[in-house]
Amino acid sequence: MSVKLLLRHPLISSLPIALVVIWAIGIFASGAQSVFLWTDVLVYILVLTICVFALISSSREHLRDPWRQIVQHKLGMLSLVVLLVYVLIGLLDSVHFRLPLVVENATAEQKTVHEGEVLSVLDLLVTPIRIQEEKTYSAPFATHLHTTETIERPDGSRERTYPRLEYGGAHLENPRTDKYSDIAMNSVLGVLVGLIIWSAIVLMVLFILAMQKQANVSAIAKMILSGSSLVPWRLILATVGFMCLLLGLMIILGPKYHILGTDKVGQDVLFQSLKSIRTGLVIGTLSTLIMLPFAVLLGIMAGYFRGWMDDVIQYLYTTLNSIPGILLIAASVLMIQVYMANNPQMFESDAERADARLFFLCVILGITSWTGLCRLLRGEALKIRTVDFVQASQAFGVSNFKIIWRHIQPNVMHIILIAVVLDFSGLVLAEAVLSYIGVGVDPTMHSWGNMINGARLEMARDPIVWWSLLAAFIFMFALVLAANLFSDAVRDAFDPRLRKQ
Amino acid sequence: MLNYILRRVFYAIPILIGVNLITFLLFFVVNTPDDMARMHLGVKHVTPESVEQWKDERGYNKPLAFNAEAAGLEKVTDTIFYQNSVNLFAFEFGRSDAGRDIGYDISQRMWPSLILAIPIFVIGLLSNITFALIVAFFRSSYIDVWGVVLCVVLMSISGMFYIIGGQFLIGKVLHLVPISGFDMANTFKFAVLPVLIGVVSGIGTGTRWYRTIFLEEIEKDYVRTARAKGLPESLVLFKHVLKNGMIPILTGAVVVLPLLFMGSLILESFFGIPGLGSYTIDAIGSQDFAIVRSMVFLGSVLYIVGLILTDISYTIVDPRIRLQ
Amino acid sequence: MTDVLLEVKNLNTWFDSRAGRANVVDDVSFSIRRGETFALLGESGCGKSMTALSIMQLLPNQAANNMSGEVLLEGQDLLQLPEVAMRTVRGNRIAMIFQEPMTSLNPVLTVGVQIGEVLTKHKGLKGAASKARIIELLEAVGIPDPTQRIDEYPHQLSGGMKQRIMIAIALAGDPDLLIADEPTTALDVTIQAQVLDLLRKLQKETGMAVLMITHDLAVVSEMVDRVGVMYAGQIVEMASRDDFFNEPQHPYSQKLFDAIPSMGKRDEALAIIPGTVPDLAQEFHQCRFADRCQFSWDTCQQQVPRWISGNDSRGVRCHLYDSTIENKSRVAEKVELISTSSSNTGEELLTVSNLKVHFPIHKGLLKRVAGYVYAVDDVSLRVNRGQTLALVGESGCGKTTLGKGIIQLVKPTDGSVLFNGADLTQLSQNELRSRRKDFQIIFQDPYSSMNPRMMVGDIIEEGMIAQGIGDSAEARRVIVDELLQQVGLRPEHRNRYPHEFSGGQRQRICVARALAVNPKIIVCDEPTSALDVSVQAQILNLLKDLQKQYQLAFLFITHNISVVAYLADDVAVMYLGRIVERGSVQEVLENAKHPYTQALLSAVPTIDKESKQEILRLEGDPPSPINPPNGCHFHPRCPKAINECRSEYPKSRTISSTHEVSCHLY
């Protein structure tokens, strides 16, 4: 009985995350020094907020019901799985530390010395592709550099050739003949690894479902296979399977080849793309997290109290709104840039400086984007304050604060939620544009915008260097598409006007 | 009507003052002119003299907002805030940090911007409305469902990939038009690709949005009345629904109309078109604060003009609304 | 039968949902003769509108093709027609007008264009010929200045005018049949009378048949030749008007009659229909009304009743009239009597003196005040403990604002509200807050008066917490449970959300919420106007019961005269922000003095035509409270206006010790 109850607990589904956390604690226990970047802290706050919100939702019918609808939405769940994979990678990349410097015969004093480089859990997980740097460009699965180099032969003659890569396909004796069969072999191996991981997940899901529904595993399996389960498990597991295959291929092929090639300084493009995920997610979520209190508080206050408060708040957002968004962002970022350049002593490391810039970018994006939601909420509060149930409360002498909390807030919650989800994809896309213009994240930070920016200059090269662009495109597109589809599902479920149909 | 417009212009003044205040805070208070001078001159070889000279050249050597040394009214007027704000209100943008006349640059560069922006706006609006009407006509059929999915897919592609993809495909592979560049004498050749890309990149968002508007209208009671008259579905859609749906669409589009002057930032920059968009980007790149400040102000003015135009356009397309 | 115009045979219309297939129109058959007026009568959700839309094939998208049966128009089956051919029927041979004239016209097209469309489509008229015909039509439906109105937009017209335009559109195709779907439900009584008169006149002139969809027995009584009563998707009774009103057969029809409040029923509880309409998404093996029927016996629960045809196209769907089934009906309970020993203690509870609520209209640069909406203008009235004062008036007359002004939900501009000796307008916010438990309000719309995100228990408790009633959560819970039972709900309903209840149940929850703080007076703002008549009866019974039990006073705001007759002790009639007549209910309803009161009363359609007093029809619409006419506000519409009326607002004149009227005639 108690086991079953335990299994029903939502924590069980986050078991893999828990394992990673334990492992991370293990790293710290072995002497690593934890580093809390500003955005890390905010990410933790965000995760906490979501947990609290989920807890509240599960106890409120009007919030639980739409989620039930989303869970049964096919496209919505497919995109949710994709989003969760991104989120998982992003979270792994949000636990930072400095590894202890390995010094032989270390004295007690030296033991406390740490490496300067700040690493994340993700960095450790993908160590091979992180450290295997080539000289410069190389195409996906290449064994030779993309550019020629002049090599001096032993006999003194000079020749321009494409030199072998230091890591990519280095294990091959004769790349020209062996490469493709080797890739095929390894791919098969990768698929197998992927299948094994997938099977483990499927079994776990089946087991948990069987426990929850108190049915035997084979019945559950049949139900899922026939696609008749209420939650579209068949589709979810298929998506998970696809992700597992990608993971398997990455595990096996990653250390041996540069799956997505290398960039100008020889860094693995796959590594860059994975690292960019956190940047995109942070900008997409934290900007909203920062603007939310402003928008909600000011919007509801303006609409509910009206009068001079309304005038002031309206003036505020009309003024902010009248400055073209991108210019306001550009101007703000430029100023932060100057400020940071003039105060270099504030930041201990490059990573922290880059992170601070990311943080400020989020703040700026937040400040420039709260006006839309604020105006929406003001309008809604204006409407709700005249509805009979608010008047009924006033007739009971309920205080304004309580009316806002008990009547206005729950009835605008869906607008807030929809706005948050809708804004996300726009912000991810904005990051790329801003980084391109030069007012986005720090140039040293991994981001899709920086990848595009760097690769764009090589457009004229012949043969063309296309893999950085393609990688950024695929990673961004998958995230934004998933977010858009998911936000559609959320809107369908939460918007009372759409629910009627 | 005239009365109303005058009033709206009057209302704009406090907003523009607010905008000026914000830019002033951003450009002169977060970082003092000294900071900017050090930044521009390079942090390493700054001497107090060169900083002073840099400030002097640009008129930044005055106090920020209050000049205690000056006499009478000049206490307020002989300051950076007053000098910068008042000049902007008179549309005198002064000189850029690099020493060029900003006003002249703007007057030269707005034409290429318009050559791109106007066709993108017009063709985009027309094509989005057309697609939205088609999708709405076939509502709740497969055309509708897949049309919406296609829109979401198109929406999910970053604008930069449309540009890069278009340049690669049409410019590099097919060699139909030059990849980038601009020539006032031969505008069509250089403008056709950016315009095409500008239109295509907006189709996803636009079509989906307008479809929602049309579907909302189709649900309304007057549509049922029109059907009860025996009107064919096409007439119901193109006369009754379109005319009502155009109200939010047109008025939504009018806001951006004046902003077309500002050009498209990335489009112009990718195609190397000497418009105001690339002007802004270059200014940001070279950290030319005078230009950025001018563009912020110009953008705000145009936005407010857009708001006024929106209100006026409401009275034209919606008989229910009259200005007073 | 050559004179049969439309014959509907076994019409079925259904919606498919997750719960299954719901037959919203179930095996409906009826016929309409040329020139005849036939009514489909029923309460909301009974399928009467769906029947009309099925005939027109204008069903909403989800059910667009879910129809079976036959709809024969002069022998031709409309359901077999392709959509293109159907378009030559719609608007041409069958025209339709709808309930909401406000939204049924296209807001961005002129009146002329919207009528002209029909002429172009069905009559081939264009240009000048079309224009001439449009003007003719506008004249026919009684629109003044048709040449000017032709270029106006719908928003420039009043509700009654818009409905006239809708009728003109319908007439444009010279239809054989006009389907009128609740054509006057959204209109005020005086306007309703105008529109009904117009429909009668036009029918006489054109000889078209009318299918009237309505829930209002009185409208049926005044307008139609034959009637079909619908319940849960089926026609349960069909009869000629006279037969139906002389002797309704189906128990449901009988209940509908008994549920109508009237002066004569003041001493008894109104008949109610217990329970709710069954969910249509099921297969029926019993009579649909069985669960709510006072006569039902086991056969009703086991067997679907068949259609029993009587003579002269009469018919009923009920086992009571089936000679093949043994009648084992229960004997109907007698109506319960309420002692109305009117608890008039004469003790004054609320005195309103010269109350004014003016809303300023801001204009111009600095939002200076350019004028006022005189929503409530110099109103005085009093309510005694345990008594009901009915406030009667048409929409926009300021009666709701007056109600809110009295309980200080709207800040009055001037005047005083003496309640229990204290002037509410002079109290500070805190003093007022602590007194709020004494005066409560019940709103018109039970759907918007409860927060959809809160549970019923929390909704009722909210006021108790704010007013400090009940020391602990446990104590409050006990009170909530008691209250729920008192209004006819169950304690376990505490943990449900408002959307799980029907309109009538919600209104009862609202009553419980108001009662929770033990008020002395409740302002009832049209609490039954959004409800069906059988549900209205439940609420009225409940209110009457509670009044007796707790010595409650009611300020009952309504436009429904029969409710006034049933419930009120005193009546005040309001027109354009002012009270024009007040007195006891007998004095005002039976001996009305003010021409407006007289017109209002004579505009109300009644079931028994004979008892009608002198008919007094009002022209035009009420003027705007922004700019009320000089002199007596009513004089532009008053058929009895004399010269003085144009110059001076009449003082209040005393007819009897309790009866006062503001009119120069007295």
Cα A168 from Cα A266, distance rounded (Å): 11
- The answer to whether C84 faces chain B, any CB pair under 8 Å, is yes
Q: Do A390 and C454 contact (CB within 8 A), yes or no?
A: no
Task: Please give the angle made by the CA atoms of A242, A246 and A249, to the nearest 5 degrees.
Answer: 135
Inter-chain CB proximity A391 and C467 less than 8 Å? no
Residue C269 tokens read as 């509880």
Direct distance between the N- and C-terminal alpha carbons of chain A, in angstroms, rounded to an integer: 42
Q: CB neighbours (10 Å) of residue B87?
A: 15
Inter-chain CB proximity B229 and C169 less than 8 Å? yes
Q: Please check whether the domain covering B109-323 is classified as CATH 1.10.3720.10.
A: yes
Q: Say whether both A114 and A179 belong to one domain.
A: no
Q: Say whether both A234 and A305 belong to one domain.
A: no
Cα B261 from Cα B111, distance rounded (Å): 8
Nearest to A392, CA basis, from C502, C439, C416:
C439
Least confident of B171-180, C187-196, C333-342: C333-342
Q: Say whether both A248 and A327 belong to one domain.
A: no
Is residue A214 one of the residues assigned to a domain?
yes
Could you give the 3-state DSSP secondary structure of residue C202?
A: helix
Identify the pLDDT of residue B45. 67
Q: Say whether both A334 and A448 belong to one domain.
A: yes
Give this complex's ipTM. Answer: 0.85
Cα A5 from Cα A50, distance rounded (Å): 23
Q: Do C222 and C207 contact (CB within 8 A), yes or no?
A: no
Identify the pLDDT of residue A299. 93
pTM (two decimals): 0.86
Cα C108 vs. chain centroid, distance in angstroms? 29
The stretch A372-399 carries a mean pLDDT of 91
Domains in chain A, number:
3
Is residue A160 one of the residues assigned to a domain?
no
Percent of chain C surpassing pLDDT 70: 95
Residue A439 tokens read as 């007012």
Separation in Å, CA of A44 to nearest CA in chain B: 28
Stretch 462-491 of chain C: residues touching chain A, C-beta under 8 Å: 462-463, 466-467
Inter-chain CB proximity A389 and C451 less than 8 Å? yes
Q: What residues make up the domain containing A319? A: 276-500
Cα B294 from Cα B104, distance rounded (Å): 12
Inter-chain CB proximity C106 and B244 less than 8 Å? yes
Cα A282 vs. chain centroid, distance in angstroms? 6
Task: Please give the angle made by the CA atoms of C428, C432 and C434, to the nearest 5 degrees.
Answer: 125
Cα C572 from Cα C580, distance rounded (Å): 8
Identify the pLDDT of residue A263. 83
Q: Residue C330's pLDDT band (boundaries 50, 70, 90)?
A: low
- The answer to whether B247 faces chain C, any CB pair under 8 Å, is yes
Cα C378 from Cα A52, distance rounded (Å): 54
> Is pLDDT above 90 for A257?
no
Is residue A82 one of the residues assigned to a domain?
yes
Nearest to C272, CA basis, from C531, C550, C547, C564:
C531
Direct distance between the N- and C-terminal alpha carbons of chain B, in angstroms, rounded to an integer: 7
Inter-chain CB proximity C497 and A407 less than 8 Å? no
Task: Please list the rounded mean pLDDT of every run of 10 residues in chain B (324 residues).
Answer: 81 87 79 74 72 76 73 73 76 77 88 89 93 88 89 90 85 75 77 89 91 90 92 90 89 83 82 87 82 87 88 84 67
- Inter-CA distances, C154 with B239, B249, C190, C508, Å: 16, 22, 21, 38
Identify the pLDDT of residue B267. 86
The stretch C605-618 carries a mean pLDDT of 68
Identify the pLDDT of residue A114. 60
Task: Pick the residue from chain A with its C-alpha nearest to B162.
Answer: A473
Could you give the 3-state DSSP secondary structure of residue C537?
A: helix
Residue-wise pLDDT tens digits, C98-148: 988 888 999 999 999 999 999 999 999 888 999 999 999 999 998 888 898
Compute the CA torsion angle B207, B212, B215, B221 (nearest 10 deg).
-140
Residue-wise pLDDT tens digits, A180-235: 888 888 899 999 999 999 999 999 888 888 888 887 888 888 888 887 788 888 88
Direct distance between the N- and C-terminal alpha carbons of chain C, in angstroms, rounded to an integer: 58
Is residue A78 one of the residues assigned to a domain?
yes
> A76-108: b or e for each residue (b if 16 or more CB lie within 10 Å)?
bbbbbbbbebbbbbbbbbbbbbbbbeeeeeeee
Among B153, B158, B307, select the one facing A476 at the smallest CB separation: B158
Among B27, B31, B296, select the one facing A323 at the smallest CB separation: B296
Task: Pick the residue from chain C with its C-alpha nearest to B241.
Answer: C106
Subunits in contact with chain B (3 or more CB pairs closer than 8 Å): A, C
Residue-level length of chain C = 666
Test mutation, C462, C497, C513, C517, chain A, max A CBs within 10 A: C462
Q: Which residue has the tokens 């025996």?
A: B230
Among B221, B235, B324, select the one facing C104 at the smallest CB separation: B221
Inter-chain CB proximity A395 and C441 less than 8 Å? yes
Q: Say whether both A192 and A104 belong to one domain.
A: no
Q: CB neighbours (10 Å) of residue B238?
A: 13
Q: Say whether both A282 and A228 belong to one domain.
A: no
Residue-wise pLDDT tens digits, A42-75: 888 888 888 888 888 887 777 788 888 888 888 8
Cα C507 from Cα C442, distance rounded (Å): 8
Number of Cβ pairs < 8 A linking chain A and chain C = 68
Identify the pLDDT of residue C167. 94
Cα A161 vs. chain centroid, distance in angstroms? 41
**Phi-psi region for residue C386, left (φ > 0), alpha (ψ -120 to 50) or beta?**
left
Identify the pLDDT of residue A113. 58
Chain B positions touching A476 (Cβ under 8 A) are 158
Test mutation, B217, B223, B229, B241, chain C, max C CBs within 10 A: B229
Residue A96 tokens read as 């930072």
Task: Pick the residue from chain B with its C-alpha nearest to C173.
Answer: B229
Residue-wise pLDDT tens digits, C530-552: 888 888 998 999 999 999 888 89
Residue-wise pLDDT tens digits, C371-427: 888 889 889 998 998 899 999 988 888 899 999 999 999 999 999 999 988 899 998
Q: Say whether both A455 and A421 belong to one domain.
A: yes
Among C404, C462, C513, select the one facing A398 at the smallest CB separation: C462
Task: Please give the angle made by the CA atoms of B268, B271 and B272, to the nearest 5 degrees.
Answer: 75
Inter-chain CB proximity C166 and B228 less than 8 Å? no
Inter-chain CB proximity A395 and C440 less than 8 Å? yes
Inter-chain CB proximity A331 and B30 less than 8 Å? no
Among A392, A398, A410, select the one facing C449 at the smallest CB separation: A392
Inter-chain CB proximity B155 and A477 less than 8 Å? no
Residue-wise pLDDT tens digits, C214-234: 998 988 988 899 999 999 999
Separation in Å, CA of B72 to nearest CA in chain A: 31
Residue ranges of the alpha helices (H) in A343-458?
Answer: 350-385, 388-395, 400-403, 409-437, 448-456
Percent of chain A surpassing pLDDT 90: 19
Q: Say whether both A187 and A329 belong to one domain.
A: no
Inter-chain CB proximity B158 and A327 less than 8 Å? no
Among A97, A120, A143, residue at a domain's last position: A120
Identify the burial level of B207 via C-beta atoms within 10 angstroms of its C-beta, where 0-12 means exposed, 13-18 middle and 19 or more buried: buried
- The answer to whether B322 faces chain C, any CB pair under 8 Å, is no
Inter-chain CB proximity C441 and A398 less than 8 Å? no
Q: Say whether both A367 and A454 belong to one domain.
A: yes
Residue-level length of chain B = 324
Cα A470 vs. chain centroid, distance in angstroms? 19
Identify the burial level of A201 via C-beta atoms within 10 angstroms of its C-beta, where 0-12 means exposed, 13-18 middle and 19 or more buried: middle
Cα C663 from Cα C644, distance rounded (Å): 10
In chain B, where does the domain assigned CATH 1.10.3720.10 lie?
Answer: 109-323
Average pLDDT of chain C to the nearest whole number: 88
Inter-chain CB proximity B320 and C153 less than 8 Å? yes
Identify the pLDDT of residue C334. 56
**Phi-psi region for residue A306, left (φ > 0), alpha (ψ -120 to 50) or beta?**
left
| Higher local confidence (pLDDT), C54 or A225 | C54
Task: Please give the angle made by the CA atoms of B254, B260 and B261, to the nearest 5 degrees.
Answer: 130
Q: Which residue has the tokens 């027995």?
A: C217
- The answer to whether C433 faces chain A, any CB pair under 8 Å, is yes
The stretch A370-384 carries a mean pLDDT of 91
Is residue A106 one of the residues assigned to a domain?
yes
Task: Pick the residue from chain A with its C-alpha nearest to C430.
Answer: A397
Compute the CA torsion angle C427, C428, C429, C432 (nearest 10 deg).
-30
Angle between helices B80-89 and B289-317 (to 10 degrees): 40
Greatest C-alpha distance within chain A:
101
| Higher local confidence (pLDDT), B9 or C557 | C557
DSSP category for residue A96: E
Q: Say whether both A296 and A220 belong to one domain.
A: no
Subunits in contact with chain A (3 or more CB pairs closer than 8 Å): B, C
Cα C558 from Cα C399, distance rounded (Å): 8
Q: Which residue has the tokens 């649909």?
A: C288
Average pLDDT of chain A to the nearest whole number: 82
Task: Pick the residue from chain B with its C-alpha nearest to C151.
Answer: B319
Cα C203 from Cα A292, distance rounded (Å): 61
Q: Do B124 and A416 contact (CB within 8 A), yes or no?
A: no
Cα B28 from Cα C204, distance rounded (Å): 82
Task: Pick the residue from chain C with its C-alpha nearest to A388.
Answer: C449
Separation in Å, CA of A482 to nearest CA in chain B: 9
Cα C176 from Cα C93, distance rounded (Å): 5
- Inter-CA distances, C444 with C276, C456, C505, C506, C521, Å: 20, 18, 14, 11, 17
Is residue A280 one of the residues assigned to a domain?
yes
Q: Say whether both A407 and A336 belong to one domain.
A: yes
Chain C positions touching A387 (Cβ under 8 A) are 448
Q: Say whether both A444 and A493 belong to one domain.
A: yes
- The answer to whether B123 faces chain C, any CB pair under 8 Å, is no
Chain B positions touching C134 (Cβ under 8 A) are none
Identify the pLDDT of residue A259. 83
The stretch A127-142 carries a mean pLDDT of 81
Identify the pLDDT of residue A101. 64
